[in-house]
Amino acid sequence: MKKSARRTQHGGALFTETAQALQAARSARAFLPTWPAILCRHLPFSRCVLYYRDAEGNVFRPFGAGNGESPLPPLAEECSLVESFTGRSDFLLTGPQNRMFFELFDRDSNGLFADGGFNLVIPLRAHKYFRGLLLARVDAREEKSVRPLADAVQAAAAMFIPLVEAEQMEFENDKNYYRLFKFDRLVLLGQMAASLAHELRTPLTTVLFEISAIRERLVGDGAVAAAYEKINREIRRANGMIESLLVFSKFKDLKLAEVRLREFIECTLREIPARKIPPQVTIRVSAEKEIVVSSDGDRLKQVFINVLFNALEALSERSAGTIAVRLYSQYDELPRNIRHVIAVSDDGPGIPDAIKERVLQPFFTTKKDGTGLGLYISYSIMKTLRGDLEIHSSGLGTRVDLILPAR
C-alpha cells in the first residue's frame, strides 16, 4: 500500500490531533500557526503553509513557515493568487497544463512558489465562502493521490474555520456595539462643542483686536512684534479648530442625489491640484464596475479628500509610494445585505499599535499643526450618510474603508 494511501486512510489521527490542538489553544485564531505542522505529520507533505485572512481583513497572513525557512510574504486580497481561488473550490497541482498559472502566481508573489518549492494549492472554504489557502509541497510519486489529500485537508479545515469566523464575528459585534455607544457620545459632544465654540469666538476676537492695538502703539519694539506674531498664529489655529467644530455640529439637511461612485472618484482626483500630490507618489484607481448610490456628494467628497490627504501625508517621507483607491461591492452572507466600499490604501509605515484605538477620537493628532478633527468629522459624516468609516492598519500600510449602503 502506498504511503499516501496509508496516511489518508488514517485521517482519524489527523482529525483527532486537530481537535486536541484546537481545544488546547487559547483561541481558534491562535491555533492557526500549529495546523501546518499537524498536516505534515499525518499527510505526505514535506512542507505546507496556511494563508488565512487577517483579523483586520486586508491581507492573508502566512502560518507555519517552519524552522530555518525563509520568511514568507503576506498576500494582498487583490493579488492574482488570492483572487484566482476566491471563486474556485478545487485544488490546483503543477503540471504542463497549469504551469502558466503558477508562473503568474510566482510573478505576483515575489517568487513564493519557486522559493518555497510549493506545487499544490488547496483553497479552504466553509459554508461555500472562501477563507484561505493551503500551499503544500508533495513528491512526484504522490501527485496521483492528491484528491484524497485535498479532501482530508478540507475536512480538517472545516473543524476550525467556523470557530475562527465565530470568534471574528463576536469581536465585530463587540466593536460595533462600542461604536454605537461612542457615536451617541459624539452626538452629545457635538452639541456641547457648538455651544462652546460660540462662547470662545467672541473673547478670542477681542484678544486679537487688543494685541493688534498694542503692537501699533509699540511699533519699534522687536520683542513685542515677535510676541504678537506668535499670539496671532496661535489664535488663528484656535479659530481653525472652532470653525471645524461648527462645521461638524451644524450639519445642514442632507442633499441626497444619485452618485456614480467611479465617476465621483475620478472627478475628485482630477480636481486635486498636481502640486498637492508629491512626485514620488502614484495613485491607482480600480473599479469592478460602476456603482450608483444615493448620497450627499459634497459631504462624501469632503471625507474622501480628507482620507486621501492623510494617505499622502503617510507617504511624504518615503522615496516612493503608492495609494490604491478601490471601489467594490461587498455582501454580508445575503445579497440583500450588500454594501459598497471605497477603499483608500497606502503602503506607508502604518499606524502604531499604541494609537490605533485613538485615531478617531476628537482632538487626537500626531501632526505638529493638526487639529485632530479631520478623521473624527469624517467618521461622523459617514454615519450621517447611513454608512461607516473603518480603518485597517499593519506594517504593510493603512487602508481606510468608506462604506455606503445600497440605495
pLDDT at 248 over 80: no
CATH architecture entry for 253-407 = 2-Layer Sandwich (3.30)
Strands 75-76 and 281-287: unpaired
188 near 196, Cβ under 8 Å? no
Choose between 406 and 302: higher pLDDT. 302
* pLDDT at residue 187 in the model: 62
43 near 8, Cβ under 8 Å? yes
Q: Which of 154, 95, 152 is nearest to 120 (CA)?
A: 95
Fold of 3-166: Beta-Lactamase (3.30.450)
Average pLDDT of the residues of the chain: 79
pLDDT at 226 over 60: yes
* pLDDT at residue 278 in the model: 83
Kindly report whether the global pTM for this prediction surpasses the value 0.85.
no
Here the cell at position 38 is: 499537524
Phi, psi of 396 (to 5 degrees): -85, -10
301 near 367, Cβ under 8 Å? no
Strand partners of residue 404: 340
Strands 281-287 and 321-332: parallel
Choose between 32 and 235: higher pLDDT. 32
Mean pLDDT of 128-141: 84
* pLDDT at residue 403 in the model: 92
End-to-end CA distance of the chain: 60
Q: What is the pLDDT of residues 303-359, one digit of tens each?
A: 999 899 888 888 877 767 889 999 988 765 544 567 899 999 998 888 877 777 777
Domain boundaries, the chain: 3-166, 253-407
Q: Which residue has the cell 503540471?
A: 95
Q: What is the pLDDT of residues 38-84, one digit of tens each?
A: 998 999 888 899 999 887 666 788 998 554 455 788 888 778 888 88
Q: What is the pLDDT of residues 6-23, one digit of tens each?
A: 444 546 889 999 999 999
Q: What is the pLDDT of residues 91-107, one digit of tens each?
A: 888 877 777 888 888 78
Highest mean pLDDT among 51-60, 260-269, 386-395: 260-269
* pLDDT at residue 342 in the model: 94
* pLDDT at residue 174 in the model: 66
pLDDT at 395 over 80: no
124: CB partners within 8 A, 6+ apart = 50, 52, 130, 131, 132, 133, 134, 153, 154, 157, 161
Count Cα neighbours of 262 within 13 Å in the Cβ-side half-sphere.
10
Phi-psi region of 305 (alpha: psi -120 to 50; beta: other; left: phi over 0): alpha
Query: 3-state DSSP call for residue 297?
Result: helix
Here the cell at position 90 is: 478545487
Q: Which of 178, 195, 171, 184 is nearest to 380 (CA)?
A: 184
310: CB partners within 8 A, 6+ apart = 374, 375, 400
At residue 380's C-alpha, the angle toward residues 193 and 240, to 5°, is: 45
* pLDDT at residue 304 in the model: 93
